[in-house]
Amino acid sequence: MTAFGIALHEPTALATIEGIRRAEALGVPTVWLTSGSAEQMSILSAAAVQTERVGLGTAIVPTYPRHPIVLAQQASVVSALAPGRLRLGVGPSHRPNIEDFFGLPFNSPLTHLREYVAVLRQALGEGRVDFDGRHYHVHFPAVAKADVPILVSALRSSSFLLAGEVADGAISWICPPRYLAEHARPALQEGARRGGRAMPPLIGHMFMCVTSDLKAAREDARQRLAMYPRLPFYAEMLRKAGDEEAAGGRVSERMIDAVVAYGPEDACRERLRAFAAEATADELIVSLMATGPDRWAGIEAGMRVVAGARA
């Protein structure tokens, strides 16, 4: 049975923490924070002491700007404050983000990610690190151990292969369900086979807006999706998914229909279930959108849909 959670995209730390509190109250199993959020680990630390049950995840923390030891230390703190509730999603992000925003070289992202995960595993699992690789040479004597699953972002088959080999889950983003079923899952299975381990969960993602204003929801979705076809990794994924218009840098009607649910609560809930079934996803992250003057009412409606989607 597919698990469901939400991604919050609130503009401030306080609003995000309030959203996490509301999500728990409404029965949402897991809240994920993206790299576009204010500093994720700080927010999750604050949310951890204001909640009791809701799962907390990052989808994802970009690897290049943050040393894995620093992230391991932060994760161990959140885990201590919220035992068993943290899942740590990491990924290389994209060349324009890393080189233009941070001024860092974006070299060999999959090798970099493999080493990053290896350092995290030693730090969190063993409490110390002795690692020498191409990108990292880390000899760190003491990190508080923490039982934190490490997941990685994945768009292309090569990244799903890596996730199957070394991670505790593969987090996709705006991948159409058919792409996940026909490209992602087989690569994830093959990676697990190469690593001699069980296949980790395949996590899908879509946007959702509970609303009666369908036109406004589609326009909001178009704006939110606009940046993705312009990023090379997403363009390649969309081309393999058969959406040549989106692969050419434009948001197509097909792209919106594939990865956005909108309409009344019952229709959205059925759309989530249908997406998960077609994608053969083990879990689905739902990015909540809202239209109309009462934004929180729309967000809470989305939370109710997600909370009831598994039933």
- pLDDT tens by residue, 127-136: 999 999 999 9
In a domain, 232, yes or no: yes
**Domain that residue 251 falls in:** 213-263
Verify that 1 and 46 share a domain, yes or no.
yes
Verify that 257 and 297 share a domain, yes or no.
no
Query: What's the rounded Cα separation, in Å, for the pair 224 and 222?
Result: 6
Provide the token pair at 61: 């923390």
Task: Determine whether 27 is exposed, middle or buried from the number of CB atoms within 10 Å of its CB (0-12, 13-18, 19+).
Answer: middle
Report which residue type is found at 2.
T
- pLDDT value of position 311: 56
- pLDDT tens by residue, 7-30: 999 999 999 999 999 999 999 999
HSE toward the beta carbon, residue 152, CA cutoff 13 A: 31
In a domain, 15, yes or no: yes
In a domain, 295, yes or no: yes
In a domain, 235, yes or no: yes
Residues in contact with 69: Cβ distance below 8 Å, sequence separation at least 6, in sequence order: 119, 123, 129, 138, 140, 143
φ/ψ (deg, to 5) at 35: -70, -15
Verify that 248 and 285 share a domain, yes or no.
no
In a domain, 281, yes or no: yes
Q: How many domains does the chain have?
A: 2
pTM over 0.75: yes
Query: What's the rounded Cα separation, in Å, for the pair 297 and 210?
Result: 10
Among 227, 243, 263, residue at a domain's last position: 263
Verify that 254 and 276 share a domain, yes or no.
no
Among 245, 263, 281, residue at a domain's last position: 263
- pLDDT value of position 195: 97
In a domain, 188, yes or no: no
Which residue did the predictor score with more confidence, 7 or 38? 7
Which residues, in sequence order, are bridge partners of residue 289?
A: 209
In a domain, 207, yes or no: no
- pLDDT value of position 35: 85
- pLDDT value of position 271: 97
Verify that 254 and 294 share a domain, yes or no.
no
In a domain, 203, yes or no: no
